Chains A and B, each alone.
Chain A
Amino acid sequence: MDVTLTYYGKLVEVVGKSQELIDVQAITLRELVLWLENEYPDLKKLSLKIAQNNAIGELEDKITSKNIDIFPPFSGG
């Protein structure tokens, strides 16, 4: 299925882009994360949160949106 992923913060540098349209065989967010970690191995080292439909999801959640946001914690101040 086609999903648009939007990246934030340092993830943009790790992935090399702020947004991308991907075609992925993933049913749950966990499967999406596995796909991402395979595509971008450096993501494995990072804490991140995944949101769809403007809500942060759990890894067991099914993918229900064509737009998914992926972001790390920021600490600067």
Chain B
Amino acid sequence: MKRYSRHIALSEVGLLGQLKISESKVLVIGAGGLGAPLLLYLTAAGIGTIGIVDFDTISLSNLQRQVLFREQDLNLNKADIAKARLRARNSEINITSYPVALSTSNALEILKTYDIVVDCTDNFRARYLINDACVKLNKPFVFAAIYKFEGQLSVFNYAGGPTYRCLFPLPPKAGEVPNCEEAGVLGVLPGILGAYQANEVLKIILNIGEVLSGKLVSINLLTNQQKSFQFKKNKPLIKQVIQEELSYIELNDCKITHEKKH
């Protein structure tokens, strides 16, 4: 516990808070731009069990922002390498890597043993799948998404709060929203948003501060402006998601990344 003395010194955390952190199980889906800083901070904080889902392999252009990886990691699986890099930083916690794509056939199985899910993916197909699986399993999930110099942040399905579909019921059409490869991204942007996600995870576990439920925060790094927009729950839609089978959305934004090379 000496390791976490700076947490324990905070009256809002204390020994009990650090114990809660060590008992929590967090699943991170996506070990890329957002996942890297998030995973580093969750590991440093001592989250007891961390799961990492990512089918992708590390490519050169990833190194501009995916700060968990090194040059010698190129072409290796992101989840497996993330696990290795994180273990070197904290050997006391349990880390499991799932070097697979999240799908309708494995999502419920993988998510069910975790307390909190973090969406660090880069496409709408995955995001809607995560939403629907979390709604079905009644898990909160911490969301962030980025575009060039801007980010969006929220916590969905937390303590009866609204979900991603309450905000955006339907996915956009294919090609409507470019991904980072097409649009470009300032490397530090996911660095900041991923850290914000780690902050929300810790607030949920420790039950301190105001968890960003029912609010979408919009961040602009060029202007340093931050705005918060409230939104409501769509109860009939939530009910529909619970009742229907987990399915892939028909239309997706970027080309499915495991079908293309970076």
Q: Which of A45, A47, A49, A77 has the most CB of B within 10 A?
A: A77
Q: Chain B's nearest CB lies how many Å from the CB of A54?
A: 6
Can you name the residue of chain A whose Cβ is closest to the Cβ of B120? A77
Cross-chain contact A56 with B147 (CB below 8 angstroms): no
Q: Determine the chain A residues whose CB is within 8 A of the CB of B218 once the complex forms.
A: 8, 69, 71
Count residues of chain A with CB under 8 A from any CB of chain B. Answer: 19
* Complex Cα spacing A46 to B34, Å: 25
Query: B144 to A77, Cβ gap below 8 A?
Result: yes
The answer to whether A75 and B168 touch (CB under 8 A), given A54-B227, A54-B228, is: no
Q: Are A56 and B176 in contact (CB under 8 A)?
A: no
Chain B: residues with Cβ within 8 Å of the partner, total of 45
- Say yes or no: A77-B124 contact (C-beta < 8 A), given A47-B168, A71-B218: no
Q: Tell me which residues from 33 to 67 in chain A have a Cβ below 8 Å from any Cβ of chain B.
A: 45-47, 49, 51, 54-56
**Cβ B227 vs Cβ A77 within 8 A:** no
* Cα distance, A10 to B145, chains bound together (Å): 13
Q: Report Cα–Cα, A55/B33, bound state, in Å.
A: 29
Q: Report if A16 contacts B (CB, 8 A).
A: no
Interface residues of B in 165-203 (CB under 8 A from A): 167-168, 170-173, 176-180, 183, 185, 190
Residues on the B chain within 8 Å of A51, using CB: 229
**Nearest CB in chain A: distance from B116 CB, A:** 17
Q: Which of B187-233 contact A (CB under 8 A)?
A: 190, 216, 218, 220, 227-232
Tell me if B80 counts as interface (CB < 8 A to partner A): no
B residues contacting A by CB (< 8 A) are 30, 32-35, 119-124, 127, 144-148, 150-152, 167-168, 170-173, 176-180, 183, 185, 190, 216, 218, 220, 227-232, 253-254
Return 7 A-B CB contacts under 8 Å, by A number: A10-B147, A71-B218, A72-B172, A73-B124, A73-B152, A73-B177, A75-B179
The 5 closest A-B pairs by CB, nearest first: A74-B145, A77-B122, A56-B231, A76-B146, A51-B229
